[in-house]
Amino acid sequence: MARLLGGLLLVVLAVTLLPGDWPAVDSGLTQSAFAQGAAKTETATAGIAAPKLTPDDYPRIAGVNGRIVVWLVAQLHLWFAAFVLAVPIFVFIIEAIGMSTRDKRYDDMAYEFIKISIAAYSLTAILGGFLVFSLIIFYPHVIQYLGAIFKDTMFYYALLFFLESAALYLYYYGWQWLQGGFRKWVHLTLGLVLNAAGTMLMFLANGWLTFMMSPAGIDPGGIFTGDVWTALHNHLWNPINIHRMVANVAYGGSIVGAYAAFKFLAATRAEERAHYDWMGYTANFIAISALLPLPFAGYYLAAEIYAYSQQMGITLMGGIFAWLFIIQAVLIGTLFLSANYYLWCGMARSEGAARYNRYIKYLAFVIVAAFLVWFTPHTLVLTNEELKALGGPYHKYLGPLGIMPAKNTAVNVMILFTALSFLIYRRANRIAMVGWAKAGNAVQVALFSAGIANIFFLGIYHGYFTNTVYKVASSIPQVITTLVVIAASIVIDAMMYRGAKEVAPLRWGRVPERAQYALFLLAVAFTWLMGLMGYIRSGIRQHWHVVGVFRDNSPDAFTPTLGYAANVVSVGTIIFMAMVIFVFWLSQVSAVKTTPAGFWKEQAS
Amino acid sequence: MRNFAAVLLFSLVTIGFFTWFSNFGIPQVDPAPPPKEEKLDLGAMTMEQFTALGERVYKGKGTCTLCHSALGGRAPLLQEAGAISKERLADERYKGEAEDMAGYLYESMVKPSAFVVEGFGKAGSSDTVSPMPDVSGGSVGLSDAEMKSVVAYLQKLGGYEITVEIPKDAVPETEEEATSRAPFKTAEAAIAEFACGACHKVAGEEGEVGPDLRKIGRLRDRSYLRRSILDPNAEISKGFEKDQMPADYGEQMYAKELEMIVEYLAALK
Amino acid sequence: MAMLPRIPRLLQAVLTVAVIYGGFRLVFDAILGQPIPASLMTMYMFFIVAGVFMVFTFTEESAREMVVPIRALVEDPSRKPIRNLVFVLVPLAAGGLTYMKMLPSFEAPLELRSIHPAPPTTVELYGKRFDLLKLENPFRKLEKADPEKFRELVAEGGAVYIANCQYCHGDKLDGKGPYAAALNPVPLNFQDIGTIAQLQESYLFWRIATGGPGLPKEGAPWLSSMPVWQEFLEEDEIWKVILFLYDYTGHRPRSWGHE
């Protein structure tokens, strides 16, 4: 509680302490009525000019590298923010499920999710305040410029922050109090308010950073003349909003999954194991559900970056950052493999699953093969020997796998097969009793086969035998195919297995410990991946604070190598992990009671 | 505790693997440092040097070849731009005001939509809006002289007589400030050093060319003052003329000094 | 029919990895003649091992079976001799690998090369400006119009080739001339389907005439030792050599007409 208040204070302090001379803030306050009248007619269009800085305008303090400090703090703030924004989303959904099914276990699990993340909210706020401070210290003119443009939103930001905190407190502390009937409805509404406030907070902050990437309301001379809404509603705002929303949910799921996994490993009693197994499964389910549409949100974002500026798009995909996408491929491959592995291991929970065990190797084969295609770079790293053996720097057979159509095809196949893993897991313990089960199965098989055939056709035909225009365009029908196949097969499955017979009781807790490590892998890889993609999102601005408007002339304006960036991300991940462990530890320390013998005076009664 | 250690170790090994891969699994490309903002010395330039400058701008700072190349096919090729400009000027779809080849080429850089070659318009605009930015602003930010040099280069490329003239007076002949000049401590010192008083009535000086600044804080707010220094022509007060005040104080001043001067002026009431 | 003894799970896993690895080597090295570069192969195998591990450990029984032999090796008293052997061999192998890795070699450091240096649209050669987009081999049309004359020109081109080019590119045009072994990057193999068969004649004209120094900036680092042939050969001679290159290898130049 005190921690949260402390964090809050910090943020408010930071917001109000921002350089007092924001141009327009005091324009209305200090001018006489006469001057104001004059100002209205003459200075109504006075815009905000970006300062032209020199390296000496960036304070150097005690030899600390300002960029790395801001980078790390921003990233830590972002990790925590993503986590605390995501948790209420699925807590709300789980609570609603519990409410409609009247299954108390859902309600308890939702409560536990919010309980373990409660300390993370104050950490998010503290880190946010810290971020503002480090920006003021190391980049005073940048924050001043942005502050001048976004001053209105900062006020709403503070307001929303209060609203979110209030809703959070009521939601969390009132959980046991607001139970049953009308009270439960009130509680659920609180959850909705909490989520709405949190999401709006994120949208506001997204507006600030997308303005730096794709500024809007700038006249040809580089002067900002728009209003706050123009600045906020810039070209990349919505693509980033969508991408972050989906990614946050997947990320939050993976972190909670790691918590459940650890509790599972530490559990001593069977009920405890069962409980945390179920919790881990749910968290993994949430993570995968959000992970499947995530690549598409990413494509949308990348396409919009291209649409905003070809130059930025080429820097992103073809230029110096091209190899980053090979690292990204390794990480996303890791995510998919570990999520699948967890599902397969989970089949041990039921006796009926053994029927499906022999299919797993084919799933694994396809997913790994698709992953290898995705991972194959366009430009190969060759030793001189290999160069000679190949007769040139170009590989005849692997070369074609390096370009986009092959990768699009691979990732769609990977997503489809992950969905298939999940379908098989769902069926593992059940036998469909409806009369048309055979036909339903056939339809599903046909659906998947047709979908995969279509994805391959689109990828190979349009990717390699038509010109560039179709190459790019073919990725959209591929995505639609994937989504349609997944949605349709889930619907068919749901109808087919209505009233299905269970083969054997599902035994929560009967899952190998290895599966828990898959959950850890998911969480760690996700954290690291977010750090990496955060770097590129910010890095494609290159030597600009605000692209094309406000040049970065600091000594740190250079674009670092990927290795350098990866090292910073790794350090950040380790700090974040330490903090998350602290948050989880806090959540259980309140339940621990120590009774010291002979410490307190005996009271005669 | 044993579990904790195992999980920790597992996570660290995972992070270690990602770090290793990023450092050693892929080639480390050292990105080019940010481009230098070049100052042009036009006074002593021959036409050959001017054209060569145009080529450098065209291939480098101007980033023209990103789109105007045979590889991308995103924009028309410019080898024949000189020859085609006559047809363009006569075309009924032409919306600009240029009258000759040099004028047309220059105009196409600052108003790309004046004529959009068929098939190269923005999607959905049926070739009325060009996807090309105004290269005098934005992230490209070419100066007038740089754009003229590109015109010269394009004319040479097509094998035409170079009709564009080297702008002599576009860049004011300012003494190059030593880059490590110490910032002035007070606003008064800065105002004296930048010789504001030569034109303005300020800080005891009685200049006549520009507006009186002795009570400027009453009339103008800080954002207006700041803009007036960075971009003097943005708005001209009644009774004064354009292009009188140097436009490069933004480059000459440290941001700190600018803020000091703005603060000082705003306090004059 | 005699039952074959069931292969232990651990061995199965190892065999699977080995078979996949062998398959890669067989298909890419032996059959296709295009080996997978070691850097890529390492990552391929890393994820294949991970995939195999996943398949072999996702059920409890299978995982246990995988561990049993390893555990036995460490714990079973009767395995003492093998254990000692393994415990000596493993560190030795690790040491040996490290030694080999650290041993200084004469191998030049890796360099990233751009595979397709984009040609300029026009180029100044022989004091003239050539538009590479429209440029065609002036002798190409003789192939149909005057086959006899065409054969003559090809033969002349062959003479130019033997006098100038074969030292590096080889008398069979396979990039294995007497000097080839000393060069890096290696001289191009014109027999390969991935080289001149993918290019227009104008591209070849540009590459021959301007040589290594004429490579564009985006092709760097590219330390090609190809001479600037416009200083040694006549314009017509280059066009004749190009005729010869396609004629001898049986490839057709790429042209936009066919697509």
At A528-573, the pLDDT tens digits run: 999 999 999 988 888 888 887 888 888 888 888 889 999 999 999 9
Reported as a single tens digit per residue, the pLDDT across A254-313 is 998 998 998 898 888 888 889 899 889 989 988 988 888 888 888 888 888 877 876 677
A383:C36 CB<8 A: no
Round to whole Å and give the CA distance between C208 and C230.
8
Q: Mean pLDDT over all residues of chain C? A: 82
* pLDDT higher than threshold 50 for residue A476: yes
Do A344 and C54 meet the contact criterion of CB atoms below 8 Å apart? yes
Determine the average pLDDT of the residues in A204-213: 91
pLDDT of residue A32: 37
Question: What percent of chain A has pLDDT above 70?
Answer: 88
A378 and A277 in one domain? no
Name the residue among A360, A376, A382 with its Cβ closest to that of C55.
A360
Is A188 domain-assigned?
no
Name the residue among C110, C112, C122 with its Cβ closest to that of B79.
C122
pLDDT of residue A568: 94
B18:A51 CB<8 A: no
Determine the average pLDDT of the residues in A305-329: 76
Three-state DSSP class for residue B34: coil
* Ordered mean pLDDT values, 10 residues apiece, chain B (269 residues): 85 92 81 67 68 79 72 69 75 79 83 80 73 74 82 78 68 41 77 78 78 85 84 81 74 77 86
Residues of A with CB below 8 A from C112's CB? 379, 381
A415 and A286 in one domain? no
Supply the range of the domain harboring residue A380.
Answer: 351-505
pLDDT of residue A81: 92
Lowest mean pLDDT among A529-533, C67-71, C72-76, C216-220: C216-220
Round to whole Å and give the CA distance between B22 and B16.
10
Name the residue among A344, A360, A372 with its Cβ closest to that of C47.
A372
Tell me the Cα Rg of chain A: 27
- A·B CB contacts under 8 A: 181
Is A117 domain-assigned?
yes
Residue A223: CB partners within 8 Å, gap ≥ 6? A47, A48, A49, A50, B227, B231, B234
Do A143 and A18 meet the contact criterion of CB atoms below 8 Å apart? yes
* pLDDT higher than threshold 60 for residue C239: yes
A498 and A461 in one domain? yes
Is A524 domain-assigned?
yes
Residues of A with CB below 8 A from C58's CB? 341, 344-345, 347, 360
Which single residue is written with the structure tokens 């807790």? A509
CA distance C73 to chain A (A): 22
Portion 209-238 of C in contact with B at CB < 8 A: none
Reported as a single tens digit per residue, the pLDDT across C162-185 is 999 999 999 888 888 898 888 877
* pLDDT higher than threshold 70 for residue A453: yes
Phi, psi of B70 (to 5 degrees): -70, -25
**Among candidate residues B155, B154, B135, B133, the one with its CA nearest the CA of residue B144:** B135
Torsion of CA A459, A463, A465, A466, to 10 degrees: 120
Confidence of residue A353 (pLDDT cuts 50, 70, 90): confident
CB of B60 within 8 Å of any CB in chain A?
Answer: no
| Last residue within a domain, chosen from A505, A535, A568 | A505
Round to whole Å and give the CA distance between B265 and B211.
13
CB of A367 within 8 Å of any CB in chain C?
Answer: yes
- Structure-token pair, residue A134: 């480090």
Determine the average pLDDT of the residues in A360-381: 87
Three-state DSSP class for residue A596: coil
Number of domains in chain A: 2
**Which domains are present in chain C?**
9-92 (no CATH), 122-258 (1.10.760.10)
pLDDT of residue C90: 93
A443 and A391 in one domain? yes
B47-157: in CATH 1.10.760.10? yes
Confidence of residue A605 (pLDDT cuts 50, 70, 90): low
A290 and A304 in one domain? yes
C119:B70 CB<8 A: yes
Q: Is the omega angle on the peptide bond into residue B232 within 30 degrees of 0, that is, cis?
A: no
The CA-atom distances, in angstroms, between A409 and each of A332, A361, A415, A533, C76 are 15, 21, 10, 22, 50
Residues of C with CB below 8 A from B73's CB? none
A451 and A366 in one domain? yes
- Structure-token pair, residue A521: 């892998």
A244 and A328 in one domain? yes
Is A180 domain-assigned?
no
Round to whole Å and give the CA distance between A373 and C121.
34
pLDDT of residue A23: 38
A100 and A59 in one domain? yes
A489 and A465 in one domain? yes
Helix H, strand E, coil C: the string for B130-177 is: CCCCCCCCCCCCCCHHHHHHHHHHHHHHCCCCCCCCCCCCCCCCCCCC
- Per-domain residue ranges of chain B: 47-157, 187-266
Residue of B79, B80, B154 best to disrupt the C interface, most CBs of C under 10 A: B79
Is A30 domain-assigned?
no
Q: Chains with 3 or more CB pairs closer than 8 angstroms to A? A: B, C
Which single residue is written with the structure tokens 């809007």? A216
pLDDT of residue A367: 93
Round to whole Å and give the CA distance between A468 and B107.
31
Residues of A with CB below 8 A from B23's CB? 563, 566-567
A515 and A480 in one domain? no
CB of B52 within 8 Å of any CB in chain C?
Answer: no
| Last residue within a domain, chosen from A451, A474, A505 | A505
CA distance A215 to chain B (A): 10
C118:B27 CB<8 A: no
Is A198 domain-assigned?
yes
Round to whole Å and give the CA distance between C112 and C126.
32
Residues of B with CB below 8 A from A43's CB? 220-221, 224, 235
Question: What percent of chain A has pLDDT above 90?
Answer: 22
Determine the average pLDDT of the residues in C96-116: 74
Do A216 and A231 meet the contact criterion of CB atoms below 8 Å apart? yes
A156 and A138 in one domain? yes
pLDDT of residue A46: 61
Helix H, strand E, coil C: the string for A370-420 is: HHHHHHCCCCCCCCHHHHHHHCCCCCCCCHHHHCHHHHHHHHHHHHHHHHH
Count other Cβ atoms within 10 Å, centred on residue A62. Answer: 4
CB of A220 within 8 Å of any CB in chain B?
Answer: yes
Lowest mean pLDDT among A153-167, A383-397, C35-49: A383-397
C121:B157 CB<8 A: no
Q: Mean pLDDT over all residues of chain A? A: 82
Q: Chains with 3 or more CB pairs closer than 8 angstroms to C? A: A, B
**Among candidate residues C77, C56, C78, the one with its CA nearest the CA of residue C67:** C56
Do B91 and B115 meet the contact criterion of CB atoms below 8 Å apart? yes
Do C82 and C166 meet the contact criterion of CB atoms below 8 Å apart? no
Do B106 and B98 meet the contact criterion of CB atoms below 8 Å apart? yes
A259 and A328 in one domain? yes
A364:C57 CB<8 A: no
Residue of B14, B68, B71 best to disrupt the C interface, most CBs of C under 10 A: B71
* pLDDT higher than threshold 90 for residue A241: yes
| Fold assignment, B187-266 | Cytochrome Bc1 Complex; Chain D, domain 2 (1.10.760)
Lowest mean pLDDT among A341-355, A510-524, B233-247: B233-247
